[in-house]
Structures are given as structure tokens and as C-alpha cells.
Amino acid sequence: MKTCAVAASCVDFPFRRLLLVSTAQTDKSRTRIILGITMRIQLDAKDLIDVVEHGRPMSVAEFGCLLRERSASVAVGNVSVLQFVAPLVRANEFSRMRALLQGLETLPLTYIASDRIPQLEINEALVAFREGREPVRLEPFGTRWDDTFYWPRAPRTRMLINIRLDQFVESVFTEDPRILEMRSSIAEFRAGFAVFRSLPDVRLTDAWLRKDFGETIWRKIVYLRSNGMWDLPIGRDEAVEAGYWMYDDPARCSGLRLQHECYFELMKNKNDVPKDDDLADFIYVGTIPYVDFTTLDRRMLHYVCSGAKRLASKGNRARFDKQIFRNLAELIENVWNVRSSESSVADQPVG
């Protein structure tokens, strides 16, 4: 299997290694350097369940063949897998969970460190800001599912080799059952919406959003530092100033910028009450710049496409709204011209 040579540096984090690749972001035909993969697609939990458990829009075996024929993989992170199995774990249906995850693992998979992307982006962007250069493009991928988490200490699974995905999930859940709930984070997420929406009407001008993004960078650093996930010495004023610089070019912190735009698109719609799954969806949104195509439910797709179009109007080179689809059937028809019995009638991505 061929791979292309490219300058890359491995950056160490506790108990894992992720790649930072010294290449500029190009179009979606760019060649991968990892495992010869030329395309990564990301499916939301509904589409994962449909294809693995229900064989929609095709059987998991057929989908696996389609991926391998096109040197493609499904990108999965901790959030997407936990959303996929959470209802079964809560109902103590571990045998059904094992079957689903073993079915998922028959597909060619890539493991994306979804909840670490903001930390990795901010760290690299701050170093670039100090050095007077553009940030190095991040490749936030590992080789196993436990590479997708931040671990303050080595997980029990780290010493194991040839461990199945279902064994990973069961071990993580056994070690900390609260990982499926995210209750405190969800409460903070809802509280943030309530506070903002209780304020007098705020004009979401570009200047206001730029100022908020700078403050957001500092708030995230404070949060990361308090959780033992941040070592780079920095003060508030420098962090905020660097945040303004990141805002001025969406490519400098693309996952976090897309999350920020999407967040305020949702915030503007005061008739849309935040849902528990929204927090996980926002983590998922931050991965979109690092994969080639993504599926999203119709509600979140609307907000992401609106935010992505704003980024494009500000000069963002990547058109994220053109790589998002409502379901797997629509994705494979538009990307690979493969029709299934449930293919969408749409000929273009929504948005």
C-alpha cells in the first residue's frame, strides 16, 4: 500500500502520540499519510446505528467493501462511539452492545481525538502566534480508541494489545460510569445559553464575535489548566490577543472557529431550546475540518452550514458546508455516485 512522504513531527501527550503534519490544507482530494487512507468520513450516531444494526442504506458488509474499494475509512471518536452505545449501556444490554461494536469494527476505522481538538488547536496556534508564523495543520488521529481520550493517568487498556473496541468501551464504562452522562458539562452548557438569552438583544456583529472569540480562548485555557490539560505558561492579555489573531483567519483554529459560529447560530434562534445531545454534537462539529465528509441530523446541519457559510464569506478556503450530508445514503450517492434503495433525491449537499 502506497503512502506519500511528508515532513511530520510527533507531539507527545500523556500515554499517546498524535501527528502534526507540515502541510497546508488543500482540497478534498489531498492524499493521506496515515495507512494509505485517501478519504475519511464521519457518521453521526444515527447513521452508525442504521448501517450496523439495521443494514440501512446497505449492509455493514457492503458498506465495508465500498470503503475499502475507495481507500476510505470511518472516523470515530470517543463521543461518537459513546453516543452509539449509550442507550444500551444504560439499559445494561452489554451483549447487544458488544455485537454492535464488533459489527462497527468490521469497517475500516480511523480514531479521531475529538474532545482534544480545541486544546491541540489552541496550543499550536498560540505557539505560532508567538513565533510569527501560521499554525501547522493538525492531524488529530490515533491508532486505537483509547487514543481519543485525555487520560490524567494511564488507562487500564494501555498495556493491552489486540483489544477489541467493545472491550475498550466496557473497560472505560466500568472504570467511570459517569463518562456516558456528561451531566455537569450539560448543565453548564444550558446555563450559558440561558444567561446569554436573558440579556437585552445583542447585535452579533463581526466585532462582537471577534471579541467573544478572544475571551473564549482564555476561558478554555483556564478550564484546561484547572483539569491538568494545559502546561504552556500564558496570561490573559496574551491569550485574548492571540484569540483575535486566530479569529482573523478561520484556518488558524478551524475546529474551534466552526464550533463558535455554529454556537451563535443556535443562540440566535431563541425558539430552539438546547438539548442534552447538543453538547456532544458541538464536540462532533469541531472535527469537521479534519475529515472529508460528515453526516449530521437536519437540525444541527442547518446551524453548521450557516456558520460554515459565514466562515467562507470571511475568506475561509475550505467550504465545510459542501462536505456535510443529512444521512449516509445521501453521502454515498453524491460522493461516490452509488445509489441505494434509500438514497436521498437531493443531488447536492444541504446548505
Which grid cell is 103?
Answer: 459489527
pLDDT in tens, 197-222: 676 666 678 898 999 999 999 999 99
pLDDT in tens, 33-55: 444 557 999 999 899 999 999 99
The per-residue pLDDT of the chain, averaged, comes to 80
Rounded to whole angstroms, the Cα distance separating 24 from 38 reads 16
Rounded to whole angstroms, the Cα distance separating 160 from 348 reads 44
Give me the pLDDT at residue 128, please. Answer: 97
* Closest by Cα among 226, 279, 84 to 169: 84
Give me the pLDDT at residue 1, please. Answer: 34
* The length of the chain, given as a count of residues: 351
pLDDT in tens, 326-350: 999 999 999 998 876 655 434 444 4
Region 98-119: what's the mean pLDDT?
92
Instruction: Name the CA dihedral angle for 33, 37, 40, 43, rounded to a multiple of 10 degrees.
Output: -140
Region 137-163: what's the mean pLDDT?
77
